Amino acid sequence: MTDMASLMEDRAAAKVISDNLRKPVDWDSPKIARNIKKRYAAERRFKIYGLVAIGIALLALCMLATSIGSKGYSAFYQTYVQLEVHFDPAVIDPDGTGDPAVIGRANFDGLIKQSLRDRFPDVTSRSDKRDLYGIVSGGASYDLRERVLENPSLIGQTRTIWLISGDDFDMLNKGYIDPTVAEGDRRLNDQEVSWYNDLVEAGAVEKQFHTRFFTSGDSREPELAGIWGAAVGSFYTLLVTLALSFPIGVLAAVYLEEFAPKNRFTQIVEVNINNLAAVPSIVFGLLGLEVYLNVMHLPRSAPVVGGLTLALMTLPTIIIASRAAIKAVPPSIRQAALGLGASPVQTVTHHVLPLAMPGILTGTIIGMAQALGETAPLLMIGMVAFIVDIPGGALDPATVLPVQIYLWADSPERAFVEKTSAAIMVLLAFLVLMNGLAVYLRKKFERKW
Amino acid sequence: MAAVSQSAMAAKPSVENPKMTARNLDLFYSDNQALYEVDLDIAEKQVTALIGPSGCGKSTFLRCLNRMNDTIDGVTIKGEVTLDGRDIYDKRIDVVQLRARIGMVFQKPNPFPKSIYDNVAYGPRIHGLVNSRDELDEIVMTSLERAGLLKEVKDRLQSPATGLSGGQQQRLCIARAVAVSPEVILMDEPCSALDPIATAKVEELIDELRSNYTIVIVTHSMQQAARVSQRTAFFHLGKLVEVGETDQIFTNPKDERTKGYITGRFG
């Protein structure tokens, strides 16, 4: 354990140094004291810089959260109006057949309009009537139909029912429309405001939890628009992305780290992978448009194309993270396996990959979170289309959460402002969930050596 | 002068029926030559110690014996290394099988981050040496017994190997190497990371293993070489300076450099 050679060298070197240091040091001199003071000050300063940096970051986060939260929380509630609806057999089922097909075709919209006219009998002019019908959403008639189809005995009865209100009425109820400003400067005229006040006095207006927001697809009517279609689209897109980028990325990383000879070619590959990670995502969108749509003729606006495009974008992230994780596995483990007569592939699959898995999974989830929040490349391949139906598979037209946010932010109706913020909250919740999963997986598979 | 020539007569550069031989072995790391024309015989069922100052090529030579240098980029080897008379650098030789026949224990204990049982069972499993769970259990137990570790760990075979002490880990690594029934065991400074008590245990173990295995050990401790080995080879600057019976090397070296090194006058 004593290496004579180095010992002798050390002794020789020590002699030279001790010659130079023959002068005794006065540890109590003012110069030394100043030096100590300066060092303490520098350490305090450094600590303060760190605290300030964290403070700024937290402040920015708080601002973002409050701005989105304060704008978006109201989207989780929806105004409902109570009306007396007479389920007129003459309208719903004039021949008394009881056939669901006949009932389904009935003019429920007319029933609602009738009850609105009954509630406010003074309204006579055509334009006033149109304003009056705006109190209740156009989507309320579908709810009514569901109700009757579920329970046909309603036909002929008169019931007091909560109906989903129109978006302007909803905005007024949530306080986003100020009735005190000049009539010409607001969406609702004085007459509509008076109807609202009348209904409020009668206790016929209330806010209910807006489940429809989480269960329905997009709509032109803000009160009917929901996030579920985009969420399902995001799910299929990410599924395709994961299925492609994870195996390809991990295999590429394993090959580059464990098997590839270190030569000019692999260096070029390495530089290009790092470059690819920095390419603007819109460029991947253009590539996807050209290759997948124009050359391969895959369906437009479909999650499969979005997934393929995002997989290109996620690959470099996964490769870089996986390579770092593989590199961090101590070489002694590889030597141990090789020394026992494990083949290189056995060494990788039995030892290196399992030990690198936490890092690989963390990198993958961060890459997927990035893909979840990506918008630009998806605009290029047509996932920006207005799609009402909830996609049933990766080949159906769909949109994704961030694009939905973009679409709503672009819509003129006041009610879409809160929808936008609410959608951002849903997206952030997914991101927090995914990053939490990354932390969990890392902790779970972490092994010490 | 007379003493020197007498010891030269006593030194045996080659042995009868060697287990392994190296002839004219040159090794290059890219352009740097690390070994120069090394001729060395490894006697069967003996401990051969390789000593010499840092960077003299003894570990490099050791790694030539089971082709571990293959895994390093830019290494070229000239010359011949044989195991039982067959060239191990022959194209027809399967490296994986070769490494199963020539086990290795490393400088730092490097158990897999798995259970104690799985560590020892790994070799027999990948080489398909066993047909049943019982057979595997038996191999694991015998190997741990041979490595002198069974008493300490038999109640916690399923607990992680990384929880053992350094000395226990190194003996586990020896048990792991023994489990594939190698003919030769190479040890690269196996005690350099251990305290004196653990070192004594491993040395004792090496002495016991000698009856079943051919052992080559690289060590920086001349006392260790003197204690455990029957033959000692002294390397200096990539050359094999002197090889012979350990007693002869330590009491009566014929080369001035060997004498200088073992008496601590130079390195």
Between chains, do B112 and A333 touch, taking CB under 8 Å as contact?
yes
Residue B3 has pLDDT above 50, yes or no: no
Mutate which: A340, A352, A447, vs B, most B CBs within 10 A: A340
Contacts A355 to B, Cβ<8 Å:
113
Q: How far B159 CA lies from chain A's nearest CA (Å)?
A: 13
Q: Domain range holding A271?
A: 228-445
First-to-last alpha carbon distance for chain A, in angstroms, is 24
Same domain, A261 and A405: yes
Q: What is the pLDDT of residue A5?
A: 63
Residue B135 lies in a domain: no
Round to whole Å and give the CA distance between A422 and A378: 21
Q: What is the pLDDT of residue B263?
A: 84
- The residue out of A178, A210, A242 marking a domain boundary is A210
Domain count, chain B: 1
Which tens digits make up the pLDDT trace of B187-201? 999 988 888 888 888
Nearest CA in chain B to A349: B126
Contacts B265 to A, Cβ<8 Å:
4
Residue B136 lies in a domain: no
- The residue out of A175, A210, A245 marking a domain boundary is A210
Same domain, A247 and A156: no
Residue A408 lies in a domain: yes
Between chains, do B122 and A350 touch, taking CB under 8 Å as contact?
yes
The tokens describing B114, both together, are 């798995």
pTM: 0.82
- The residue out of A184, A210, A236 marking a domain boundary is A210
Q: Domain range holding B219?
A: 2-111+181-262
Number of H helices, E strands in chain B: 11, 10
Cβ(A355)–Cβ(A327) below 8 Å: no
Round to whole Å and give the CA distance between A220 and A166: 12
CATH number at residue B71: 3.40.50.300
Report the Cα A314 to chain-centroid distance in Å. 16
Q: How far A25 CA lies from chain B's nearest CA (Å)?
A: 35
Question: Phi and psi of B178, rounded to 5°?
Answer: -65, -30
Q: What is the pLDDT of residue A6?
A: 64
Mean pLDDT of B85-96: 89
Mean pLDDT of B134-153: 90
Confidence of residue B2 (pLDDT cuts 50, 70, 90): very low
Contacts of B206 (CB under 8 A, 6+ apart): B47, B187, B190, B215, B217, B228
Residue A401: other Cβ atoms inside 10 A: 25
Between chains, do B112 and A2 touch, taking CB under 8 Å as contact?
no
Residue B227 lies in a domain: yes
pLDDT tens string, chain A, 449 residues long: the values are 445 566 667 666 666 666 667 777 888 889 899 999 999 999 999 999 999 999 999 999 999 999 999 988 999 999 999 998 888 888 888 887 878 888 888 888 889 999 999 889 888 888 888 889 989 998 888 888 888 888 888 888 888 999 999 988 899 998 888 888 888 888 888 888 899 999 999 888 999 999 999 999 998 888 899 999 999 999 999 999 999 999 999 999 999 999 988 889 999 999 999 999 889 999 999 999 999 999 999 988 899 999 999 999 999 999 999 999 999 999 999 999 999 989 999 999 999 999 999 899 989 999 999 999 999 999 988 888 888 888 988 888 999 999 999 999 998 888 899 999 999 999 999 999 988 988 888 888 776 54
The tokens describing A260, both together, are 């590839």
Residue B140 lies in a domain: no
Q: What is the pLDDT of residue A446?
A: 74
Residue B148 lies in a domain: no
Average confidence score pLDDT of chain B: 87
Domain count, chain A: 2
CATH number at residue A237: 1.10.3720.10
Residue B175 lies in a domain: no
Residue B147 lies in a domain: no
ipTM of the complex: 0.86
Same domain, A117 and A232: no
Same domain, A308 and A390: yes
Q: What is the pLDDT of residue A449?
A: 47
Residue A39 lies in a domain: no
Q: What is the pLDDT of residue A17?
A: 65
Nearest CA in chain B to A347: B126
Same domain, A108 and A161: yes
Residue B214 lies in a domain: yes
Same domain, A257 and A192: no
Question: Phi and psi of A28, rounded to 5°?
Answer: -105, 5
Q: What is the pLDDT of residue A153?
A: 85
CA atoms within 13 A on the CB side of A154: 21
Q: How far B162 CA lies from chain A's nearest CA (Å)?
A: 6
Q: What is the pLDDT of residue A4?
A: 58
Q: What is the pLDDT of residue A97?
A: 80
Residue A410 lies in a domain: yes
Residue A215 lies in a domain: no
Name every residue in B having a CB less than 8 A away from some CB of A.
53-54, 66, 68, 71, 73, 96-100, 103-104, 106, 108, 110-113, 122-123, 126-127, 162, 173, 176-177, 180, 192, 220-221, 261, 264-267
Same domain, A240 and A325: yes
